[in-house]
Structure 1
């Protein structure tokens, strides 16, 4: 049985599960459905207090260095979660000492003020629902690595810049002396084959890898998806937009999907990287951006607190908009959050990919913000150190935009999220974009921004010249 690092809190008072004064937590319908079907459920417990106060206190303060700011952020979030989760910790400590425990393990997440409880029984759910410190009990979400279309993998070396790299005019920025140097990029994905010839030279091994599932000491990849996306961001040999950037990664996705608990663990690692065992951490090693080619569902705010923490830490979040097209209103979460840059996919002829999800979001937001090359993109593959594969998806478009952001930060390291977003969205290519035949959210293709392409297709050179 595996339990979290909560100190024993058995002396703390546990709210009565029968008292009429208890403020009942919201219990998502999926919790009871899974309990009926399986007898237990993996829970995400969200506390009422949230994280807003902790984030605001950091945002309103000044710090000598970025590392000190992030360390203070983490300390504040940890203190917040410890105090607001005391009731739950006490209950779980009490329950773990009983015969036939009502759960098999749990973990606290400071980044979102949530707790993951594995294999919770109906009886435990009843007791948790009566605690007045809890806002919601929900079943753990399993996000998807969006399905991609792929060609046969090959072992041929890349001989020239890939079409997407050229299309966004990254080589023109390289010619000015900026190709991602002094920038650290990151992904949460299926892992990365760090020994691949296109990626081995710029892997930052020091505080550079975390695997929530197996706690491995070296990076690996379970599907190829993560190796491919990292290759597009920072790979050498013409496949990467920012080949001089250093990279780190967290394996938030397994072969069958991306469990919310793994993603939250990775969100914490991205905010303040740890050693591969998690035994020590160094917030000065935080990356400058995080590229996320995963998602699912719509209108979910489950990852909003993590994104808010990243933004407070100065980490720029970029997300795939999803592969649920061609219909309107198909943008996926977390890409449909207002606080992230969501990316749609285009082909070599600047036509929107038929699979590229469109906006508006469930809440009426314009989505995506921007589009990038995402059809038949060739990049590194996980089957060998010289393997490459051509695949399609907004998963492939997202790292193109992430690479462009790395180029901008290489040129001007102090750029804020708002400045980067403005640079990206005000300098896009529009004239070459093809009509989709769709009018989503009352905005046709000819009007920009729209819910098909966003503000247009990303252009690194134009954005570079604008900052």
Structure 2
């Protein structure tokens, strides 16, 4: 251990005193500082956003936009007080101690780029800081298998299996609903997606602030195609889509995911100007995650729900073992999605519950194996992928169809509609009893409440003939 680092550790120990009362510097920070001399930090403030979010009562605001504006204003005001001490230190420090920072009011966390030994030492001594750790690199749930093809076969099997085509026959294709994803981006010129792109307030790229949607990887184009694509690949082809690039490649940097979370709640133009909370989407699809019982994204998820934005998360591809549900999909208030095959079996890779706290997950399952959708390699390119990443947008699209039928549905009403109308009879046995729940007991930790059937759910809100 070099002398400088030893002095740093000694200073930390002296500053923090009792372990119970003072900030905890994660061991990963120490390792990276020792190896590289600087570290990309996430500073977690002692004051959480929980009480602020809970203080917003829906009945107090005449419109959804009024509620979101009030929520954002309260979160910003609380963050200004909670982060004042940290920002004072960051603003006073010489440029050599860090390369800039970003303060996230949606979660009361600050990202600090390339923090030095000296800066970490100063931040560790602040009473307003709860935790100092490296920023997370959250894996995108990589597809299990992929196949490129330009051949279209009309309506994809997943569309028919969940009954979306029957909803379309009733004149409902998701019109009037705004859907979003946080992913690798979207090829906005793709033939299946170009006609229903939102345009203004429809795209945000935290790293580059690029003006138009793009996708260097392909995962995000595929998932958005399943949500809202035309050509028979999307569940809600009449919905309008918007997207945030939270994943630069196969990993998603925490700073990008938090910035996307704020943008989803209150969108801006691509250059971060002209905030307008009235442009918030109705549902956001997320096909990424990691670890179990990790509450790092709880603040954003809670804020979305308070704003009336339905959060749908993939549960992960960590199956077939039990207790493999990933975060944030394992949070109790989000819709966590498992994957099924074309013969209505649970996909072998689909993560299962229970969660580390014993809760049942997934909440629902949906088609996730050999799902064909748009891909990023050309404006008429398509391909098949497998994963809970592919199942999740089926559920997000289903939410859009329900909201198109009845725009004032509350999130809990949407969940009840989806969970109580699933298909259960005929689903293939998994021979697992995860958390003591067999396939014969519903809900269970394999399929959740069952396999999505959006037509059954829609029947409860179908306009009178």
TM band (smaller chain): over 0.9
- Choose the corresponding residue for 2:128, options 133, 137, 154: 133
1:312-368 alpha-carbon deviations (Å, 9 max, x no partner): 110000000000111001111110111100000000000001100011111111110
Shift of 1:19: 8.8
SS at match of 2:372: strand
After superposition, the Cα gap between the structure-2 partners of 1:153 and 1:20, relative to the gap in structure 1 and judged at 3 Å, is: closer
Give distance in 1, aligned partners of 2:34 and 2:379: 47
SS at match of 1:152: strand
Shift of 1:20: 8.9
After superposition, the Cα gap between the structure-2 partners of 1:132 and 1:332, relative to the gap in structure 1 and judged at 3 Å, is: same
Give distance in 2, aligned partners of 1:23 and 1:123: 21
Give distance in 1, aligned partners of 2:395 and 2:218: 20
SS at match of 1:447: coil
Q: Name the counterpart of 2:10.
A: none
Q: Name the counterpart of 2:9.
A: none
Shift of 1:36: 2.4
2:55 aligned with 1:53, yes or no?
A: no
- Choose the corresponding residue for 2:394, options 389, 397, 400: 400
After superposition, the Cα gap between the structure-2 partners of 1:186 and 1:311, relative to the gap in structure 1 and judged at 3 Å, is: same
- Choose the corresponding residue for 2:380, options 379, 386, 400: 386
Q: Name the counterpart of 2:3.
A: none
After superposition, the Cα gap between the structure-2 partners of 1:431 and 1:60, relative to the gap in structure 1 and judged at 3 Å, is: closer
Give distance in 1, aligned partners of 2:323 and 2:132: 27
Which runs of structure 2 are paired with 1:327-346 in the superposition (5 Å)? 327-346=321-340
2:445 aligned with 1:451, yes or no?
A: yes
SS at match of 2:224: helix
Asked if 1 retains the 8 angstrom alpha-carbon contact of 2:142 and 2:250, the reply is: no
1:376-433 alpha-carbon deviations (Å, 9 max, x no partner): 0000000000000001000000000111111000001111111111111111000111
2:454 aligned with 1:460, yes or no?
A: yes
Shift of 1:149: 2.8
Shift of 1:60: 6.2
After superposition, the Cα gap between the structure-2 partners of 1:80 and 1:390, relative to the gap in structure 1 and judged at 3 Å, is: same
Shift of 1:48: 1.2
Which runs of structure 2 are paired with 1:10-89 in the superposition (5 Å)? 23-59=21-57, 62-89=60-87
Q: Name the counterpart of 2:112.
A: 117
Give distance in 2, aligned partners of 1:174 and 1:32: 56
Asked if 2 retains the 8 angstrom alpha-carbon contact of 1:22 and 1:132, the reply is: no
SS at match of 1:262: helix
Give distance in 2, aligned partners of 1:367 and 1:454: 6
- Choose the corresponding residue for 1:196, options 168, 171, 190: 190
SS at match of 2:89: helix
Q: List structure 1 runs of 4+ shifted beyond 3 angstroms.
A: 16-23
What's the Cα RMSD here? 1.7
Gaps of 5+ in 1: 1-15
Shift of 1:152: 3.1
2:88 aligned with 1:93, yes or no?
A: no
1:191-238 alpha-carbon deviations (Å, 9 max, x no partner): 000100000000001101000011100000021100000000000011
Deviates more, 1:415-424 or 1:64-73: 64-73
Give distance in 1, aligned partners of 2:143 and 2:17: 52
Query: How does the TM-score come out when normalised to structure 2?
Result: 0.94
2:140 aligned with 1:142, yes or no?
A: no
2:299 aligned with 1:305, yes or no?
A: yes
- Choose the corresponding residue for 1:106, options 82, 92, 101: 101
Shift of 1:66: 1.2
Shift of 1:26: 2.0
2:308 aligned with 1:314, yes or no?
A: yes
Give distance in 2, aligned partners of 1:360 and 1:79: 37
Give distance in 1, aligned partners of 2:59 and 2:237: 35
Asked if 1 retains the 8 angstrom alpha-carbon contact of 2:360 and 2:444, the reply is: yes
Asked if 2 retains the 8 angstrom alpha-carbon contact of 1:23 and 1:130, the reply is: no
Shift of 1:17: 5.2
Give distance in 2, aligned partners of 1:293 and 1:32: 31
Q: Name the counterpart of 1:13.
A: none
Give distance in 2, aligned partners of 1:327 and 1:232: 27
1:274-320 alpha-carbon deviations (Å, 9 max, x no partner): 00100111111100000000111111000000000100110000000
SS at match of 1:441: helix
Q: Name the counterpart of 1:372.
A: 366
Give distance in 1, aligned partners of 2:414 and 2:58: 21
Give distance in 1, aligned partners of 2:56 and 2:212: 34
SS at match of 2:118: helix
Number of residue equivalences: 448
Shift of 1:88: 0.3
Give distance in 2, aligned partners of 1:393 and 1:19: 47
1:44-89 alpha-carbon deviations (Å, 9 max, x no partner): 1111111123212222661122112111111111111111101001
Asked if 2 retains the 8 angstrom alpha-carbon contact of 1:22 and 1:130, the reply is: no
2:239 aligned with 1:245, yes or no?
A: yes
Give distance in 1, aligned partners of 2:351 and 2:144: 15
Query: How does the TM-score come out when normalised to structure 1?
Result: 0.93
Give distance in 2, aligned partners of 1:361 and 1:155: 40
Give distance in 1, aligned partners of 2:87 and 2:436: 49
